[in-house]
């Protein structure tokens, strides 16, 4: 590669790092990433407000269903026709072995992709062949393990036949269901295209030519005028500017943003990503028309169309299921453990000041949605601040004596366990801030560029920033900058082990009450 080619090469990793670090700079020109939508775009957004079924989740559920159903059929056939010299426990072991091996074999045979699942007839012989091979291996293995003679042909024949019929019939019905869901928009990936003109037109035409395309294009957004970016491209309307796209994405259930720009427009791509990376979506750069090619692992594909993966939606699909199970289990455990403290706190609040026990405050949740967060009331009832504009300071006269204690010990936050069970919060995540929270009369979004990227995941009762000391009053710009930096680190490095670590450290770090008033 000559010097000129090196200078022109698109550095994907460098671009990711630049955009991810942009929150450390204090520039206010993009601090408010969303603009009001025009009426037409709002009408389109309302059409896509309902969630769709994730193909990844569907495939995982099908694997589990086929494993359990094959195990159940093995047990049922034993009850109908017990095999000679085989116990119920032995059949259970054989069934579990066969079911597990079948799922692995079907995965190896590429029968768990969406195009394969949509095929009603074409892949049925392959599936039957896989089951025949799995059943043969299972029968031979059981004979060798038990050191027995020839298995009962009638009993095993019944098992093979019932399993084969059920497997083929269920696959046929699954194909019918998937085709129906795709046709009705229940199972699709929704995308918007950023950038108009000829590149967007070529991309749309390429997508429409894919035989198993599951992408629904919801519209086009571009900052350029009509001369360079027509209001209609390949039959799809331009709905607004990139700034309006941020608001559009928060009103809809989008899955993907596809940037239809050449790699040579690196400066413009970077400016777009500065605005768009705060959204909890996959961000892809269409690479089908670019001559420059990276290693195959750098790409994902929609059909045969290569895409460069810029950002991925965090905590998605089965990760989100695992995190939700984690939240429910530990929230119930915490309530069972802490209910005496919560009851005592409620009695103390009611006995020492007039007003309700609980206080409700509007805060930013996932994807900037406004949620109602529960707290024990720590202020006098007539001096509370539901908006959070006036932060509590040291010696604040609005705080009751009981309130001062429960704020320092974070007991006032315990009712948020009910928010966790409702699904508004996670146990661990970026702490939700009040919708009008400020740092010295400046909104947090004005202080930290990229602040709203905290909302790419569900907020939490505790978080990585809090156990590192960034809790309590925000009386200068650095406090919210560091808090945001820790929150973004958590999002990029999330795992269940990380959540467990934060949850374990939280009680110990609460002893640091320096900034808690």
**Cβ-contact 328, 421 below 8 angstroms:** yes
Contacts by residues 479-484 (CB-CB < 8 Å, ≥ 24 positions apart): 479/439, 480/439, 480/444, 480/447, 480/448, 480/451, 481/23, 481/24, 481/26, 481/447, 481/448, 483/431, 484/23, 484/444, 484/448, 484/450, 484/451, 484/453, 484/454
Sheet containing strand 256-259, edge to edge, reads 232-233, 236-240, 215-221, 189-194, 256-259, 282-286, 305-311, 299-302
Query: pTM value?
Result: 0.77
Domain with CATH 3.40.50.20 in the chain: 3-49+188-313
Q: Helix axis angle, 242-251 relative to 266-276, nearest 10°? A: 40
Which single residue is written with the structure tokens 């768990």? 112
Q: Which CATH number describes the domain made up of 3-49+188-313?
A: 3.40.50.20
Residue 19 has pLDDT above 50, yes or no: no
Beta bridge partners, 285, equal 259, 308
Question: Which has more confidence, 410 or 63?
Answer: 63
Strand 358-364 and strand 370-376: the pairing is antiparallel
Cα dist from 362 to 100, 369, 418, whole Å: 48, 10, 15
Report, as an integer, the average pLDDT of 357-366.
88
Weakest mean pLDDT among 1-15, 197-211, 350-364, 496-510: 1-15
**Cβ-contact 358, 374 below 8 angstroms:** yes
State the DSSP code for 431: P
Residue 22 has pLDDT above 80, yes or no: no
Q: Which pLDDT score is estimated for 208?
A: 83
State the DSSP code for 211: T
In 3D space, the residue among 364, 361, 360 whose CA is nearest the CA of residue 435 turns out to be 364
- Alpha-carbon distance of 82 to 477, in angstroms, equals 74
Residue 6 has pLDDT above 50, yes or no: no
**Cβ-contact 275, 282 below 8 angstroms:** no
- In the chain, % of residues over pLDDT 70: 84
Question: Which has more confidence, 209 or 84?
Answer: 209
Nearest-5° Cα angle at 450, 515 to 326: 65
- In the chain, % of residues over pLDDT 90: 25
Report, as an integer, the average pLDDT of 479-484.
85
């Amino acid at each position: 590669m000559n010097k000129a080619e090196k200078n022109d090469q698109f550095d994907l990793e460098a671009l990711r790092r630049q955009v991810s670090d942009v929150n450390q700079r204090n520039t206010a020109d993009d601090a408010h990433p969303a603009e009001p939508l025009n009426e037409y775009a709002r009408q389109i957004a309302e059409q896509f407000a309902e969630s769709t079924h994730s193909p990844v989740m569907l495939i995982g559920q099908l694997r589990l269903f086929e494993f359990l159903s094959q195990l159940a059929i093995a047990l049922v056939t034993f009850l109908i026709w017990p095999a000679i010299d085989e116990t119920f426990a032995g059949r259970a072991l054989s069934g579990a072995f066969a079911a597990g091996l079948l799922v692995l074999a079907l995965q190896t045979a590429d029968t768990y992709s969406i195009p394969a699942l949509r095929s009603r007839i074409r892949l049925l012989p392959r599936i039957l062949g896989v089951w025949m091979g799995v059943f043969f291996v299972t029968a031979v293995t059981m004979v060798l393990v038990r050191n027995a003679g020839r298995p009962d042909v009638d009993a095993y024949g019944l098992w093979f036949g019932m399993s084969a019929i059920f497997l083929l019939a269920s696959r046929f019905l699954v194909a019918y269901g998937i085709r129906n869901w795709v046709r009705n928009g229940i199972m699709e990936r929704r995308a918007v295209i950023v950038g108009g003109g000829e590149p967007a037109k070529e991309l749309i035409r390429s997508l429409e030519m894919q035989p198993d395309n599951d992408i629904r294009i919801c519209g086009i957004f571009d900052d350029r005028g009509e001369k360079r970016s027509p209001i209609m491209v390949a039959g799809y309307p331009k709905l607004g500017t990139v700034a309006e796209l941020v608001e559009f994405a928060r009103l809809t259930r989008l899955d993907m943003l596809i940037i239809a720009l050449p790699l040579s427009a690196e400066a413009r791509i970077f400016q777009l990503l500065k605005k768009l990376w705060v959204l909890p979506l996959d961000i892809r750069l269409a690479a089908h028309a670019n001559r420059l090619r990276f290693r195959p692992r750098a790409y994902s594909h929609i059909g045969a169309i290569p895409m460069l993966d810029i950002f991925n939606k965090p905590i998605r699909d089965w990760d989100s299921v695992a995190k939700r199970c984690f939240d429910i289990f530990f929230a119930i455990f915490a309530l069972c453990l802490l209910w005496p403290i919560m009851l005592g706190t409620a009695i103390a609040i009611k006995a020492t000041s007039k007003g309700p026990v609980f206080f409700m405050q509007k805060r930013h949740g996932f994807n900037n949605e406004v949620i109602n967060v529960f707290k024990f009331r720590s202020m006098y009832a007539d001096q509370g601040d539901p908006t959070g504009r006036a932060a509590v300071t040291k010696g604040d006269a609005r705080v009751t004596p009981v309130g001062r204690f429960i704020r320092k010990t974070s007991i006032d936050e315990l009712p948020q366990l009910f928010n966790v069970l409702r699904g508004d919060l996670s146990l661990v995540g970026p702490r939700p801030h009040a919708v009008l929270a400020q740092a010295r009369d400046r909104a947090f979004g004005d202080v930290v560029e990229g602040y709203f990227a905290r909302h790419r995941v569900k907020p939490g009762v505790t978080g990585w920033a809090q156990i590192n000391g960034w809790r309590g009053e925000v009386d200068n710009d650095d406090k919210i900058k560091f808090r945001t930096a820790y929150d973004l680190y958590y999002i990029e490095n999330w795992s269940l082990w990380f959540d467990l670590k934060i949850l374990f450290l939280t009680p110990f770090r609460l002893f640091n009450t320096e900034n808690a008033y």
